Structure 1
Amino acid sequence: MSLLFSPLTLRGTTFRNRVWVSPMCQYSSHHGHPTDWHLVHLGALAQGGAGLVMTEATAVVPEGRISPEDAGIWNDEQAAAYERIVDFVRGQGAVPGIQLAHAGRKASTRAPWRGRGYVPVEQGGWETVGPSPVAYADWPAPRELTPDALRELPGIWADGARRALRAGFEVAEIHAAHGYLLHEFLSPLSNRRTDAWGGDLDGRSRLLVDVVDAVRAVWPDDRPLFVRLSATDWVPGGLEVDEVARVATRLAELGVDLVDVSSGGNSPDARIAAGPGYQVPFATEIKEASGLPVGAVGLITEPRQAEKILADGEADAVFLGRELLRNPHWPQLAAAELGDDVYWPDQYLRARP
């Protein structure tokens, strides 16, 4: 059996394989509620044989949405709307996961097909918040979060985790990447604070540490907790992988089970050297420094490429995004190419290679 299609167990959860679905915004929610689109989208990925099916960035507060059409988990009704989706995903043999998020200064934006950019208050948007009043690109500067607000946020994240648990999710991932709120605090490009939440790495990572601590306290001991991190800002003077590796080491002490390693997103000036598997070395460095399992992501498109990443010990799982949008059945076809067996729904067996 290939490593790609071998099981992986974290705490009390066993993933049937190591082809995992990256969180991908769909900009198709209604007042934060998932819709039929999400049932079909996430359900198809589970049918296609992925081991973990992760939701899009799901906001823990309304102002934490990336766009007005983004998903939320700030009330019980939203959690209840996820139950049928979670049940279907699990019924196809995949592990259902949720990414808990707050977009910070990059909130209140348009869906990509509507031109992206900031949505003003008068057009249905809202005032954004961040560590410091430093704007992203030419968008309005966010309102600086007060110490009182920062003390409240970990509990708000924990409330979102409780709701996710009631909805039936088996994995929770805290989003601290791609220029969103927790990444904004980690990065000196966006965090200019001089109080206990700024300055050195200990200060800049304080909010993330407090959020992880609060979520781990309510997330069951037998269920895994992930954190997604951007390993570098790709900008001189920004966050670098050695700092992120130090943060990951601290997260391991707090009970995080895997780091989902991405990069960038916090500056429009980033010069990203993209290419097949270009972020995998970051994952490997964080794995070696922290001792944590890691997921690799970024232009992983070929079965043998994914298998080599695992066989070489560079990562413990691979997250796929656009490739799974192009072909939700990628895991089933990849398994055939590697000579492995993987789940097929009975209704689709006549198409099995």
Structure 2
Amino acid sequence: MAYLLKPFNNGKINLKNRLVMPPMATAKAYNDGRISQDILNYYDEKSKGGYISLIIIEHSFISEDGKASLNQLSIADDSLINDLKKLSKIIHKNGSKAVMQINHAGSLARNEVNENPVGPSAILNPRKLTGIMPRELTKDEIKEIINSFKKSASRVKEAGFDGVEIHSAHSYLLNQFISPMTNKRNDEYGGNIQGRIKIHLEVIKAVREAVGEEFPVVIRLGATDDNTVGLTLDDAVEAALSFEKAGVDMVDISGGMCGYILQNSNEQGYFSTQSYEIKKAVKIPVILTGGVTDPVSAERLLEDEKADFIGVGRAILKDSLWAKNAVEKLRN
């Protein structure tokens, strides 16, 4: 059997194959972050036939001050739960599992949605999507953000999703804490890698308290900043090991301060160097996303043990039949 077609069952989540649709912002929500018919139609189209085993919903903001951009999906209020149930039901009806990604933008909040962004330190975001200097968070504010993650995770479960993903990649807030480029704090939330992931471990603990032991918790890790003064591979591996010990069920590898692409990389599976080293270190499954456009490359990455699951984003965004064609090609 093709590696991509192998089922997976760890007792918490049962997946028919190793193909994942990673979170990609659509900007199709209403202005207040509510689910629109456009979003329901979009995920209905992408999940038709259930060829993708796991669909991770685009990042949703956990609080108004954590909103990243216009028309971003929200998970910040209990009144959203009923509409979100419609989304989980559509994806389930089509035969796929669905996880929601929850996020705080931190210093990457666009100017049009937040003129007073926050971050671990007063440092401009390296992705340069906004020019506003963030204000350094106080410890009390960090506690509030952790609580917002907790409440949001509870909403995800209540809305009928199969798991929750904590976003610490692409230079958003949790990624800003883990990266030495953006975290220059002198308290317990800064310094070495254990200090820089203290907030992550507290978020994981809070999320686990909200959803219970049997609900899958995933973390998306920006495992490289693609910068000589950025996160080291050793620190990324140590972080992943700490997340596993804290109770995460799966780690989803992507980029950090470099965003979701690497400079000067044309190979499929941009972040396979990072995912390979992390997969060797942890016992939990590893997802790899980054520039995968054909099933042969996905198959090779799994065969070479670069990851346990392959995320295919832009190719599925462009062609809703990509997954169907890939699965049928490998079956034959």
Do the two structures share a fold, i.e. TM-score over 0.5?
yes
- Identify the match of residue 82 of structure 1 among 81, 84, 94: 84
- Paired with 1:75 and 1:219, the residues of 2 have a C-alpha distance of 16
Q: CA deviation at 1:203?
A: 1.0
Alignment match, 2:210: 218
Runs of 4+ in 1 over 4 A off after TM superposition: none
- Identify the match of residue 298 of structure 1 among 285, 290, 295: 290
Q: CA deviation at 1:274?
A: 4.3
- Paired with 2:9 and 2:257, the residues of 1 have a C-alpha distance of 30
Report if the CA contact (8 A) 2:46-2:316 is conserved: yes
Alignment match, 1:33: 34
Q: Are 1:54 and 2:56 an aligned pair?
A: yes
Report if the CA contact (8 A) 2:156-2:163 is conserved: no
Letter in 1 for 2:136: E
Report if the CA contact (8 A) 2:67-2:114 is conserved: no
Matches within 5 A, 1:157-176: 157-176=149-168
- Paired with 2:169 and 2:264, the residues of 1 have a C-alpha distance of 15
Question: What whole-Å deviation, never above 9, does each CA across 1:180-207 have from its counterpart, x for those lacking one?
Answer: 0000000111011101111111111111
Report if the CA contact (8 A) 1:52-1:96 is conserved: yes
- Paired with 1:209 and 1:266, the residues of 2 have a C-alpha distance of 23
Alignment match, 2:299: 307
Structure ID, larger Rg? 1
Report if the CA contact (8 A) 1:13-1:222 is conserved: no
Report if the CA contact (8 A) 1:10-1:257 is conserved: no
Q: CA deviation at 1:60?
A: 0.6
- Paired with 2:256 and 2:203, the residues of 1 have a C-alpha distance of 21
- Paired with 1:11 and 1:172, the residues of 2 have a C-alpha distance of 16
Alignment match, 1:233: 225
Q: CA deviation at 1:20?
A: 0.7
Letter in 2 for 1:131: P
Question: What whole-Å deviation, never above 9, does each CA across 1:224-263 have from its counterpart, x for those lacking one?
Answer: 1110011111111111221011011011111111110011
Q: CA deviation at 1:310?
A: 1.4
Alignment match, 2:251: 259
Q: CA deviation at 1:42?
A: 1.1
Q: Are 1:248 and 2:228 an aligned pair?
A: no
TM-score normalised by structure 1 residue count: 0.88
Q: CA deviation at 1:290?
A: 2.3
- Identify the match of residue 126 of structure 1 among 115, 126, 151: 115
Report if the CA contact (8 A) 1:184-1:266 is conserved: no
Report if the CA contact (8 A) 1:11-1:223 is conserved: no
- Note the residue ranges of structure 1 that are not aligned, 5 or more in a row: 110-117, 341-353
Letter in 2 for 1:96: A
- Paired with 2:62 and 2:242, the residues of 1 have a C-alpha distance of 23
Give secondary structure in 2 for the equivalent of 1:96: strand
Give secondary structure in 2 for the equivalent of 1:338: helix
Alignment match, 1:20: 20
Report if the CA contact (8 A) 2:115-2:132 is conserved: no
Q: CA deviation at 1:44?
A: 1.3
- Paired with 2:70 and 2:196, the residues of 1 have a C-alpha distance of 28
Q: CA deviation at 1:303?
A: 0.9
- Paired with 2:267 and 2:3, the residues of 1 have a C-alpha distance of 23
Letter in 2 for 1:37: D
Q: CA deviation at 1:273?
A: 3.1
- Note the residue ranges of structure 2 that are not aligned, 5 or more in a row: none
Letter in 1 for 2:108: K
- Identify the match of residue 135 of structure 1 among 120, 124, 132: 124
Q: Are 1:192 and 2:184 an aligned pair?
A: yes
Alignment match, 2:175: 183
- Identify the match of residue 276 of structure 1 among 268, 276, 279: 268
- Paired with 1:266 and 1:332, the residues of 2 have a C-alpha distance of 31
Q: CA deviation at 1:314?
A: 1.7
- Paired with 1:60 and 1:11, the residues of 2 have a C-alpha distance of 28
Question: What whole-Å deviation, never above 9, does each CA across 1:251-300 have from its counterpart, x for those lacking one?
Answer: 11111111100113358xx8453432221121111111223210011111
- Paired with 1:129 and 1:272, the residues of 2 have a C-alpha distance of 31
- Paired with 2:232 and 2:283, the residues of 1 have a C-alpha distance of 18
- Paired with 1:272 and 1:222, the residues of 2 have a C-alpha distance of 41
Letter in 1 for 2:124: A
TM-score normalised by structure 2 residue count: 0.94
Report if the CA contact (8 A) 1:131-1:192 is conserved: yes
Q: CA deviation at 1:45?
A: 1.5
CA 1:273–1:56: 2 relative to 1, 3 Å: same
Alignment match, 2:6: 6
CA 1:227–1:153: 2 relative to 1, 3 Å: same
CA RMSD of aligned residues (A): 1.7
Letter in 1 for 2:106: G
Give secondary structure in 2 for the equivalent of 1:98: strand
Alignment match, 1:339: 331
- Paired with 1:34 and 1:10, the residues of 2 have a C-alpha distance of 31
Question: What whole-Å deviation, never above 9, does each CA across 1:43-78 have from its counterpart, x for those lacking one?
Answer: 112115211111101111112121031111110122
